[in-house]
């Protein structure tokens, strides 16, 4: 191959120390560039500069959050570690499911690309997280997508919403992965910075667990999958490390383009490689492409690797070495193969018609050496690229405005005046709530996703958790839920992050599964703003404290910073995913009662307080202030145990957690799930908890759930709740005759009317 | 019959033991997604699923073939347009047209491959609303005399899963009239036409009745707990039908 450009070799760099390098354009700060020169003992070559710049970006190095993220590894008991097979730091954590099965899951952000080019940004978000799962040796079995967009009626929201949803569907559907849940939130704080997070979960046998390391001198390094092109060059550092600023349009290019067909073939091809034990180590190519894969593989293994860069198969032959190293072309994997398996490896590639090229081999020199036609262009200690990047102790301080914000309660505000009190007013308020952007029916989105493929989906949206069967013989399976409430976290980031965990934990338990592990995607503004840095520090401290108390370890995750437009950050949005385990998914609890449930008793578990600050009701009224609902992790733990035991012992036929929208939302959603009505009364609840009907319906007090109990199980159910000293109150009964939600003495809401209001919102705007 | 199926796990034949000798091939193309699901459906109906690889040329003596759903070759060209050239497809086309009349069922992408192979008339274009759609769909069985529909009553309404991007069935008026006149519309959408298909057509058959193609997915409605609304098993009848066809020799 011939090149028109001059190659900046290590030899050349050593003799030309004063050459000007575009480190600032590549997103490096002066002190970082100086550090690189110090590490190398000379100026970096152009190729080395490209590698360091992407690997030391916020996105890849976690330089602003690393000091805080340590708590996830520190606040862990031995008990929490017992089922953790692979912890934080690998492509994704791995948890023991029993019977020789293991599960791996992870959530990541693809926020900035999804604003620039919503379809491809969201699609490649799914593609990237799925490759992380494959890299662990697992078969991906499902995906989820927590989404946050700008105001529903803003003209740009439709562009992002249509593109992101179609991208997630277009990519995930083509991979044969059921999409089993997620979130949808509209809030103007996300207008210039939507959040598109993606979760993938995979399963494997214990013996199939693979790690990203290159060990064994003489083993071969191979790059396979799609060819390397010019897409996404510098995407990691350029897109994710600087916020959008209208004066710098040049910072908005280069979103990667996805090819789901190539990824589907790659999945099957990798699983065949794992089955034949044909790879020693494997790593997907995501952010920072070959720079990341080579430096991470080398530094996690024996510490040395030699690679000839002209061996990389290209889509665009004009790419420079630096561009090849930085390219974020999708659907690529790098593996380490022992010489005796080379032939078998190639046979698998031929079968699936996957292109591959042998780049080099593992060495014991402790150096990552990359050559271009034999001339050395990179000679680095891979650890300095992958793991020893800069770490910042960013200054942070509680924002000056926080006190005033917390003092501004909904009840005392103008928006909180004249609250609904009569039956008619309450009925209208329930209708308004259920038609509101965040509470309306989401099937406009979920109907664009395949939830059935694979034949193992036992529950999916709108149920509380997505449930996937893992073992068809025994019914062993997993449940997953993702949650975050940016408003709660804005009012109090410490508690807000904990409330996100509490809700995801509650959702998983509501489905009947035992919560086991956590993955988090921390979406925040600029860490260079002390207010934002305080939010981030508080959220991490809160989440790690709560994980410890609930006994569920964080096994992996992602931090997404600089989510802001100009100087306005998004609400702190710590999205928490909880994974739970089912001994048999056949006993999962759906979120609504069916038409064979006539006369079943409807109970509310938990205590209702006057907690409307940050609520959906306050949001509809345009108010945000005060303190989020009180967190009680001991109560969450007991509630979870009751819901799991009730499922195991067949005491409940339906269960739904109370979260945004409170009891009004829960009862409405349970009735709408299968179109079956109910008759309830609030008097006992109001008297016991000392609240009025409005508060009973709209408060967002935590640690609550509604369940439907067959008549024959009522005594047992009550006994169990009493034995655990958990508050329980009988609200009423399922009524298959009325086709209405009747709140006695207040109102009767026809289900057809409720459904029409609930389902009309998204189609109206999109 | 279908409601007696175990919820999960148990693969014991749901139909008569005499049928368990049947071998039904499930073809995998690059990009096929629902091949495992089709194999599961075959197993639950009481037959043995046999994996067939698109690039191979042996039908391995199977008694019937299923072309499952997915996005073969990414559907980047017309759906099914590349898959039809697979070596396995030419064997299937020959066997379907032979005197033995090999029963062939094409589901979703499989249906698209059957029209591209000219075993069935017409074609599929993008859904009229331009979006992928996944929903529980009610169909009416219009022809219960095909190799894949004998277990249903004529006019029976069944609920199975629909999920596709390019599901709008089209053909010229003359072809559509002929399909209607010859009773070759096998399934029709009921209640709502989810993709703009001509005359609400969800599935069709060839003249001999051994080749059937449909857009919705019967293989996703064979196991209570994992089908439409997490309860339905109406799709199992299609797999049971072909077993009856194979042993009874009835069309």
User: What is the mean pLDDT of the segment spanning A122-139?
Assistant: 94
Partner-chain contact A448 B220, CB within 8 Å: no
Interface test with A, best of B37, B44, B136, B163 (most A CBs within 10 A): B163
Q: Exactly one of A12, A68, A110, A162 is catalytic; which is it?
A: A110
Neighboring chain A residues of B71 at a CB cutoff of 8 Å: 173-174, 260-261, 264
Rounded alpha-carbon distances, angstroms, from residue A610 to A606, A689, A692, A730, B8:
13, 9, 9, 20, 44
The closest CB to that of B134, out of A166, A174, A451, belongs to A451
pLDDT for B27 beyond 90: yes
Query: What is the reported pLDDT for A22?
Result: 87
Residues of B in contact with A472 (CB under 8 A): 8-9, 40
Which regions of chain B does DSSP assign to beta strands (E)?
Answer: 23-28, 48-53, 64-67, 104-107, 123-125, 133-141, 157-164, 168-170, 185-189, 201-205, 211-214
Closest A-chain CA to B36 = A454
Interchain pair B163, A450: CB under 8 A: yes
Tokens matching residue A680? 């309830």
Which residues of chain A from 464 to 523 reach within 8 Å of chain B, CB to CB?
469, 472-475
Interface probe with B: pick from A173, A350, A450, A766, most Cβ of B within 10 Å: A450
Q: Could you tell me which residues come within 8 angstroms of residue A754 by beta carbon, excluding any fewer than 6 positions away? A: A430, A431, A434, A668, A671, A672, A741
More confident residue, A99 or A89: A99
Give the minimum alpha-carbon distance from B199 to chain A in angstroms, rounded to a whole number.
Answer: 23
**What is the least distance, in Å, from the CA of A261 to any CA of chain B?**
5
ipTM: 0.92
Residue of B nearest to A462 (CA): B229
Q: Do A450 and B134 touch (CB under 8 A)?
A: yes
- Kindly state the average pLDDT of the residues A39-68: 93
Chain A and chain B share a number of CB contacts under 8 A equal to 99
Q: How does residue A251 score in pLDDT terms, banded at 50, 70 and 90?
A: very low
Residue contact B226–A473, C-beta within 8 A:
no
CB nearest to A472's CB, from B9, B217, B219: B9
pLDDT digit string, tens, across residues B31-85:
999 999 999 999 999 999 999 999 999 999 999 999 999 999 999 999 999 999 9
Residues of chain B in Cβ contact (below 8 Å) with chain A: 7-9, 30-31, 33-34, 36-37, 40, 70-71, 73-76, 131-135, 161, 163, 165, 217, 219-220, 223, 225-227, 229-230
Mean pLDDT throughout A75-97?
87
Please list every residue in chain B whose beta carbon sits closer than 8 Å to the beta carbon of residue A674: 229
Q: For chain B, say whether A402 makes contact (Cβ under 8 Å).
A: no
HSE-CB at A486 with a 13 A cutoff on CA atoms is 28
For testing contact with chain B, the best of A168, A176, A448, A458 (most B CBs within 10 A): A176
Is residue A634 a part of any domain in this protein? yes
> Going by C-beta distance under 8 Å and a sequence separation of 6 or more, which residues neighbour residue B38?
B26, B49, B66, B68, B107, B219
pLDDT recorded at residue A246: 44
Tell me the backbone φ, ψ of residue A731, rounded to 5 degrees. -95, -35
Tell me if residue A656 is catalytic: no
- Does the distance separating the beta carbons of B71 and A473 come in below 8 Å? no
How far does the CA of residue B173 sit from the closest CA of chain A (Å)?
Answer: 31
Range of the domain at A693: 589-766
Are B31 and A264 in contact (CB < 8 Å)? Answer: yes
Contacts of B33 in chain A (CB under 8 A): 174-176, 264, 453
The more confident residue out of A108 and A212 is A108
How close A265 gets to chain B, by Cα (Å)?
6
Instruction: Select the more confidently predicted residue: A621 or A302.
Output: A621
Residue of B72, B74, B134, B165 to mutate for A, most A C-beta atoms under 10 A: B134
Whether residue A693 is contained in a domain is answered as: yes
Nearest CA to A394 among A525, A585, A581?
Answer: A525
Of the candidates B8, B227, B229, the beta carbon closest to that of A472 is on B8
| Contact (CB, 8 A) for B218 and B235 | yes
The answer to whether B70 contacts A352, with C-beta atoms less than 8 Å apart, is: no
Q: What is the pLDDT of residue A234?
A: 56
- Look at residue B4 in the predicted model and tell me its pLDDT: 31
- Which SS3 state, helix, strand or coil, does residue B123 take? strand
Averaged pLDDT of chain A: 93
Q: Which of A188-197, A438-447, B16-25 has the lowest mean pLDDT?
A: B16-25
Give the full edge-to-edge strand order of the sheet including A514-523. Answer: A457-459, A466-469, A477-483, A573-582, A514-523, A554-560
Q: Model confidence over B138-174: pLDDT tens digits?
A: 999 999 999 999 999 999 999 999 999 999 999 999 9
> Which residue of A265, A452, A674 is in closest CB contact with B134?
A452
pLDDT tens column, B94-105: 999 999 999 999
Residue-wise pLDDT tens digits, B200-236: 999 999 999 999 999 999 999 999 999 897 678 999 9
Helix (H, G, I), strand (E, B) or coil at A675: coil
Asked if residue B133 lies in contact with residue B96, where contact means CB atoms within 8 angstroms, the answer is: no
- Distance between A226 CA and the closest CA of chain B, angstroms: 14
Cross-chain residue pair A448–B9, CB shorter than 8 Å: no
Percent of chain A with pLDDT over 90: 86
Residues contacting A22, CB < 8 A, separation 6+: A49
Q: Which residue has the higher pLDDT, B26 or A239?
A: B26
| Separation of alpha carbons A228 and A331, rounded Å | 10
- The alpha carbon of residue A377 is apart from the nearest alpha carbon of chain B, in Å, by 38
Q: Does pLDDT of A108 surpass 90? A: yes
SS3 of A282, please? strand
Asked if residue A295 is part of any domain, the answer here is no
Q: Are B251 and B209 in contact (CB under 8 A)?
A: yes
Instruction: Supply φ then ψ for residue A105, to 5 degrees.
Output: -150, 155
Q: Is the pLDDT of residue B2 over 50?
A: no
* Residue A209, SS3 per DSSP: coil
Q: Does A145 touch chain B (CB under 8 A)?
A: no
Residue A349 in contact with partner chain B when CB distance is under 8 A: no
Q: Give the pLDDT confidence score for residue B248 in this predicted structure.
A: 74
Whole-number Å distance between alpha carbons of A267 and A275: 12
Residues A498, A349: Cα–Cα separation, whole Å: 46
Q: Would you call A352 an interface residue with chain B, using a CB distance cutoff of 8 Å?
A: yes
Does residue A647 form part of some domain? Answer: yes
User: pLDDT tens across A619-637, in order?
Assistant: 999 999 999 999 999 999 9
Q: Does A457 touch chain B (CB under 8 A)?
A: yes
Residue A351: CB atoms within 10 Å: 14
* Assigned domain for A749 exists: yes
Residues of B noted as catalytic: 108, 217, 219
- A665-714 pLDDT tens trace: 999 999 999 999 999 999 999 999 999 999 999 999 999 999 999 999 99
Tell me the CATH number at A687: 3.90.650.10
Measured between beta carbons, which residues in chain A are less than 8 angstroms from residue B131? 166, 169, 447-448
User: In chain A, how many domains are there?
Assistant: 1
Question: What is the rounded CA–CA span in Å between residue B8 and residue A752?
Answer: 34
Average pLDDT over residues A490-518: 98
Convert the pLDDT of each residue in A306-352 to its tens digit.
Answer: 999 999 999 988 888 888 998 889 999 999 999 999 999 999 999 99
Q: Does A447 touch chain B (CB under 8 A)?
A: yes
Contacts of A170 in chain B (CB under 8 A): 132, 165
Calculate how close chain A gets to B19, using CA atoms only, in Å. Answer: 23
User: pLDDT tens digits for A464-479?
Assistant: 999 999 999 999 999 9
The CA-CA-CA angle for residues A520, A523, A526, to 5°, reads 140
Question: Is A482 within a domain?
Answer: no
Instruction: Tell me what pLDDT residue A322 has.
Output: 86
A10, containing H or E segment: helix A10-15
DSSP secondary structure string for all residues of B38-58: HHHHHHHHTSEEEEEETT---
Instruction: Delineate the domains of chain B, giving CATH numbers in brackets.
Output: 2-248 (3.40.50.880)
């Amino acid at each position: 191959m011939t090149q028109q450009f001059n190659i900046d070799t290590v030899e050349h760099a050593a003799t030309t120390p004063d050459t000007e390098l575009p480190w600032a354009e590549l997103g490096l700060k002066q002190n970082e560039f100086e550090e690189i020169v110090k590490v190398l003992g000379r100026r970096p070559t152009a190729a080395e500069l490209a590698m360091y710049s992407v690997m030391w970006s916020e996105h890849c190095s976690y330089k602003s959050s690393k000091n805080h993220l340590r708590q996830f590894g520190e606040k862990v008991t031995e008990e929490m570690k017992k089922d953790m097979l692979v912890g934080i730091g690998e492509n994704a954590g791995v948890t023991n499911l029993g019977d020789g099965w293991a599960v791996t899951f992870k959530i990541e952000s693809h926020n900035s690309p999804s604003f620039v080019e919503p379809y491809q940004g969201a699609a490649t978000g799914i593609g990237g997280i799925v490759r992380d799962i494959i890299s662990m040796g697992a078969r991906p079995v499902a995906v989820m997508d927590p989404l946050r967009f700008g105001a529903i009626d803003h003209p740009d929201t439709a562009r992002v919403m249509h593109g992101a949803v179609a991208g997630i569907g277009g990519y995930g559907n083509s991979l044969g992965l059921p999409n089993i849940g997620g979130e949808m939130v509209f809030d103007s704080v996300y207008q210039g910075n939507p959040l598109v997070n993606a979760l993938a979960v995979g399963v494997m046998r214990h013996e199939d667990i693979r790690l990203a390391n290159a060990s064994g001198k003489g083993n071969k390094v191979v790059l396979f999958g799609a060819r390397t092109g010019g897409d996404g060059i510098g995407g990691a550092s350029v897109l994710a490390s600087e916020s959008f600023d209208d004066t710098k349009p040049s910072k908005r290019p280069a979103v990667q383009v996805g090819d789901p067909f190539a990824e589907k073939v790659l999945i099957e091809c990798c699983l065949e490689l794992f089955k034949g034990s044909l790879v020693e180590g494997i790593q997907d190519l995501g952010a920072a492409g070959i720079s990341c894969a080579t430096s991470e593989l080398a530094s996690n293994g024996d510490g040395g690797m030699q690679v000839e860069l002209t061996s990389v198969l290209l889509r665009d032959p004009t790419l420079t070495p630096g561009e090849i190293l930085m390219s974020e072309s999708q659907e690529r994997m790098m593996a380490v193969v022992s010489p005796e398996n080379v032939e078998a490896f190639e046979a698998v590639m031929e079968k699936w018609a996957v292109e591959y090229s042998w780049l080099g081999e593992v060495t014991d020199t402790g150096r990552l050496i990359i050559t271009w036609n034999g001339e050395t262009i990179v000679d680095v200690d891979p650890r300095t690229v992958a793991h020893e990047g800069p770490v910042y102790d960013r200054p942070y301080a509680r924002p000056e405005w926080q006190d005033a914000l917390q003092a501004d309660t909904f009840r005392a505000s103008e928006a909180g005046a004249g609250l609904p009190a009569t039956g008619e007013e309450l009925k209208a308020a329930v209708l308004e709530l259920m038609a509101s952007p965040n509470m309306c029916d989401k099937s406009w989105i979920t109907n664009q996703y395949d939830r059935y493929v694979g034949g193992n989906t036992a529950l999916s949206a709108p149920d509380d958790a997505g449930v996937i069967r893992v073992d068809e013989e025994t019914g062993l399976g997993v449940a997953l839920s993702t949650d975050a409430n940016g408003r709660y976290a804005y009012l109090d980031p410490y508690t807000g992050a904990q409330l996100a965990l509490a809700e995801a934990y509650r959702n998983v338990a509501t489905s009947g599964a035992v919560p086991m592990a956590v993955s988090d995607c921390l979406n925040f503004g600029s860490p260079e703003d002390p207010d934002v840095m305080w939010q981030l520090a508080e959220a991490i401290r809160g989440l790690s404290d709560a994980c410890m108390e609930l006994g569920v370890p964080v096994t992996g995750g992602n931090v997404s910073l600089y989510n802001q437009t100009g100087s306005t950050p998004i609400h702190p949005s710590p999205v928490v995913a909880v994974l739970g385990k089912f001994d048999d998914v056949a006993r999962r609890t759906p979120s609504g009662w069916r038409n064979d449930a006539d006369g079943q008793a409807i109970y509310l578990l938990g205590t209702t307080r006057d907690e409307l600050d940050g609520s959906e009701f306050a949001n509809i009224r345009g108010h945000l202030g005060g303190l989020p609902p009180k967190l009680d992790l001991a109560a969450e733990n007991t509630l979870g145990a009751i819901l799991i035991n009730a499922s195991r012992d067949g005491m409940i036929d339906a269960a739904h957690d109370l979260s945004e929208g409170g009891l009004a939302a829960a009862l409405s959603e349970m009735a709408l799930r299968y179109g079956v009505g109910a008759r309830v009364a609030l008097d006992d609840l109001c008297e016991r908890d000392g609240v009025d009907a409005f508060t009973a319906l709209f408060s967002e007090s935590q640690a609550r759930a509604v369940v439907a109990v067959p008549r024959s199980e009522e005594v047992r159910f009550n006994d169990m709740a009493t034995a655990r000293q958990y508050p329980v109150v009988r609200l009423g009964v399922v009524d298959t005759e009325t086709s209405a939600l009747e709140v006695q003495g207040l109102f009767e809401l026809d289900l057809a009317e409720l459904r029409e209001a609930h389902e009309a919102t998204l189609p109206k705007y999109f | 019959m279908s409601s007696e199926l175990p919820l999960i796990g148990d693969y014991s034949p749901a139909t008569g033991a005499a049928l368990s000798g049947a071998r039904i091939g499930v073809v995998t193309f690059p990009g096929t997604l629902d091949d495992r699901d089709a194999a599961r459906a075959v197993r639950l109906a009481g037959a043995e699923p046999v994996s067939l690889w698109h690039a191979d040329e042996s039908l391995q003596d199977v008694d019937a073939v299923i072309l499952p759903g997915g996005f073969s070759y990414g559907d980047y060209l017309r759906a099914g347009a590349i898959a039809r050239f697979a070596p396995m497809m030419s064997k299937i086309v020959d066997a379907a047209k032979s005197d033995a009349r090999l029963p062939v069922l094409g589901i979703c992408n499989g249906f698209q491959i059957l029209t591209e192979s000219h075993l069935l008339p017409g074609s599929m274009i993008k859904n009229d609303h331009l979006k992928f759609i996944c929903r529980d769909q009610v169909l009416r069985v219009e022809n219960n005399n095909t190799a894949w529909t004998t277990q249903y009553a004529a006019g029976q309404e069944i609920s199975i899963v629909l999920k596709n991007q390019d599901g709008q069935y089209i053909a010229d008026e003359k072809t559509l009239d002929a399909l209607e006149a010859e009773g070759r519309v096998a399934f029709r959408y009921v209640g709502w036409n989810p993709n703009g298909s001509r005359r609400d057509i969800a599935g069709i058959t060839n003249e001999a009745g051994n080749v059937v193609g449909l857009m919705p997915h019967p293989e996703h409605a064979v196991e209570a707990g994992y089908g439409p609304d997490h309860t339905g098993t109406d799709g199992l009848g299609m797999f049971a039908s072909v077993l009856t066809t194979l042993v009874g020799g009835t069309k």
